[in-house]
Chain A
């Protein structure tokens, strides 16, 4: 991929999966994703979604490992050779549509799939099938099963292929390239914000240390002063760490067992003062678990620390932002409750963050996780945001193999108890989710 597109490999995979999912759903058939960029090895990706859409005939062919390899090679070869939208016939007699989409930076993406029988080329396809059965020495008792499975493949006309299937493949490819560009631009824009915010911080930190050096040389200041300078610089660096947690690029996720309690308390500490100014108390109650060695503590979870850190920042920031202010007569609180919970046989930990505030309408509870979506109640008030916080939380949690949900219950006439629930498996994501 050219250096213009600065997306992480996990993000790229996600965009590929989204493009394939769109195509598979639209054309009701499997779709392979072939990508070619200058300076990179071309690559054919078959996602889980695509595999699930394989025709029974293709699954039958692929049952044999050698034939499965041949299928993939054949698929890749046809995708690589495709220079314009076309229909081609696989080695086993199944038609596929292929549509390449070029990128302005020299790369191209070809979505190839459908797995159908083209009405106008039935004879050719049948001939290819017969050749395949002969070349592969399919035993006579299995030939009928192959033939019957082949006949079950949907038959479509050239008009349908041209007007629907190829069109959908093209749209999915264009959508992918557009998303790459947009995400890359977004990453750059986020870096620009950090870049501007850091200018003064950099100036401050370097000025402080240079001052310390000059004072040491001129006046030979003692360790007491060195310690004070060090404390000031560390305060500046902590502020930078906060900025980075909210805005910076997180890099590739690196999973390791992290003390969940520490992550939560560090995050809460950063928001406590802001909440207290508004009369809001933040309460934390995390269930401890007894371990075989006799230790009783909040579990350590296998997580990508930077990602979970940001998700927690977003969650607590939202809770503070959308809470009503506390008053002398009416106290307000945000409650963070942690609980050990096994789901589908997997040990995990649930974190529930609740606040009393403007709430969310019931018909919006599913939508608030959508990128850019902002609840209608929030739009009527001045509370800054871009509609990205919950989206990130959902993506982060799902990346870890967890689940997230939100509820909002009316408490009194004008206040709602909103609870964000995050469940994370103790052992972290499975291989598939980790990618």
Chain B
């Protein structure tokens, strides 16, 4: 059974997606804000994969907090596991910044559970993180 950390501010949006992954046998741990992430960094870094939203509270000068969260996971915590971005954001500059830090996949909301299932399966199968050239 895989443990997956899901960093997402609005649980309403993903409750069915979480349920679909749980039906697949995964254990999902949810974190709502950047503060939650800070307080549970060790726990997140022990997960087999991370699903990450880009727009997270609280809003600061850094705007897209998901980028800062991923930087923290990769650079400070040395987390090497697969990270799947699941967000409405399509700004190529933002996505480029995320690719630079290594991500497995980008899922644009609204995403179907079947698509999520495929992305998670592939990520856990050990494909190397996608980085920009």
Contact = CB atoms under 8 A, between A and B. Distances in A.
A199 B13 contact: yes
A274 B13 CA distance: 29
Interface residues of B, number: 31
B14 interface: yes
Contacts of A233: 112
B33 interface: no
Contacts, number: 99
B92 A8 contact: yes
A187 B91 contact: yes
A195 B10 CA distance: 10
Interface string A200-243: 11111111011001100000000000000000010011001000
A6 interface: yes
A195 B8 CA distance: 11
A210 B97 contact: no
B89 to A, nearest CB: 5
A188 B13 contact: no
14 contacts: A3-B93, A8-B91, A9-B93, A185-B63, A191-B64, A191-B91, A195-B55, A195-B89, A200-B12, A202-B109, A203-B12, A206-B111, A207-B16, A213-B23
A191 B9 CA distance: 14
B62 interface: yes
A237 B111 CA distance: 9
Interface residues of A, number: 38
B52 to A, nearest CB: 14
B92 A251 contact: yes
Interface in B84-123: 87-94, 97, 109-114
A237 B89 contact: no
A252 interface: yes
Contacts of B17: 202, 206
Contacts of B91: 6, 8, 187, 191, 249, 251
Contacts of B19: 210
Contacts of B133: none
A244 B112 CA distance: 17
